[in-house]
Amino acid sequence: MAESSLKMNGPPRVVKAKSMGPLLRIMGSKGIDGDGTEFEVNDVDPFLLCDFVCMEGTLLPKPPFCAHPHAGTAVASILCEGIPMRAWDNVGGFEKEKLFPGGVYVVCSGRGCVHDEGSDPVNLDKPSSAPFGLPGGDRVAKQFRFFQLWFDAGHIHRDELPFASSQVVQPHQVPMMNGEAMRLRLLLGRYADQCGVDVPPTVLHGALLPLTGQGLLQIPAGSQGFLFVMGRSAHVTVLGGGYDVGVHEELLLPVRDKGYDILIEVKITEGDHSPESVRADDALEVLLGFGPPSGKPFYKLLGYGGALVASSEEKVRALMKEYEQDPRKFGVKADAEAADSSIFGLQGGYKDPLDGKGECQRVNPEEPAPKARFFEVEKGPYEPKGKGKGK
């Protein structure tokens, strides 16, 4: 069964993100074998999945997803707040630059790669000060806030998938647009004659201050998307209707033949203080994503903590077979060397050829467990503890 990415032609609607511990699922769906977690919003074509991790404290004790495979999709890791991260993949190894809060790491997985995002062991005792949380602001981190967003960068339905590529964009490299009340950071795509990471969809992170301010955004003709709210509840006026969108809720934005405006205001409640007393921490923040939908079906297989996506069941199962035959060389050119992955316990999942149930896959299950980067895994012979979770 294919997951169908269809155009949203109805009115906007509000949906609450699904809580999964420290992780909130904004959109996502099961794989074609029925694995994974069902959610009210399967996808918002061209976006396939969006997760938001929000935890007190600046260092995530264990990387959000562990080393895991991708194919077909592009993946954006958006670090809003917390300790810097150091990305790795089996094609190029460790990224030369750390990802600092306010920046974005993008990997276009193409025909396949294994990647990992872990907290970098730098200044772990001193939370970094960087432009995160409130875009353009500068304050000390209080939380770990992180988005992972999967989307179609135009590769899924190609006859020949490209080899994987990645880039790290630092906070100072992210285009910024300041209005009277709303500040915007352009993370992906194009908006208002500016360009972020050059991929088809557009993703903006914005903040609205003061309480009495208004933010005006535009959705272009032929695009659809979503608006996710953080920090404070919002009142959104769009397409002739008014919508109250609470914290950690999203407003689904339909496709139209003509472009349209979105007016965002803070939803004033009885307990709100005067605008003069509002701090940056109290800002209404939004993540807005939009792009032209392909309207084409895609097929997704979950496993090993990640997901492989292709334009047909035959193709996606072939990708999974290729991964299982040699995870360390997955997606690497035939005449190239894969990056050293010996320090990683690759994330096990629904389809683990070694034991079918494990949480950390081993090439040789008889060997002692390796020490995964920046966090401890069990030592001694590997003993599966139950079914691992794919995304």
Query: What pLDDT is recorded for position 271?
Result: 56
Give the C-alpha distances (Å, rounded to integers) separating 115 from 89, 105, 199, 327: 4, 11, 19, 11
pLDDT band at 364 (very low <50, low <70, confident <90, very high): very low
Nearest to 44 by CA among 360, 293, 277, 245: 293
In a domain, 121, yes or no: yes
In a domain, 298, yes or no: no
Query: What pLDDT is recorded for position 54?
Result: 85
Query: What pLDDT is recorded for position 20?
Result: 85
Query: What pLDDT is recorded for position 360?
Result: 37
Nearest to 372 by CA among 147, 164, 119: 119
Is the confidence at residue 181, as pLDDT, over 90? no
How far is it, in rounded angstroms, from Cα 68 to Cα 349? 10
pLDDT tens column, 226-267: 999 998 999 999 999 999 999 999 999 999 999 999 999 998
Q: How many domains does the chain have?
A: 1
Query: What pLDDT is recorded for position 250?
Result: 97
Question: In the beta sheet, which residues pair with residue 79?
Answer: 146
Q: What is the pTM of this model?
A: 0.82
- Which CATH number fits the domain that encloses residue 222? 2.60.120.10
In a domain, 324, yes or no: no
| pLDDT, greater one: 369 or 191 | 191
| pLDDT, greater one: 38 or 53 | 53
In a domain, 106, yes or no: yes
Of the ranges 2-11, 14-23, 62-71, 348-357, which is most confident?
A: 14-23
Strand pairing category for 68-71 and 306-310: parallel
pLDDT band at 142 (very low <50, low <70, confident <90, very high): low
In a domain, 345, yes or no: no
| pLDDT, greater one: 139 or 223 | 223
Per-residue burial over 357-382, b = 16 or more CB atoms within 10 Å of its CB, e = otherwise: ebbbbbeeeeeebbebbbeeeeeeeb
pLDDT band at 345 (very low <50, low <70, confident <90, very high): low
In a domain, 104, yes or no: yes
How far is it, in rounded angstroms, from Cα 127 to Cα 146? 15
In a domain, 275, yes or no: yes
Nearest to 137 by CA among 262, 240, 276, 285: 285
Q: What is the mean pLDDT of residues 123-144?
A: 48
Are residues 318 and 301 in contact, defined by beta-carbon separation less than 8 angstroms?
Answer: no
Q: What is the mean pLDDT of residues 377-386?
A: 28
Q: Which domain holds residue 86?
A: 3-291
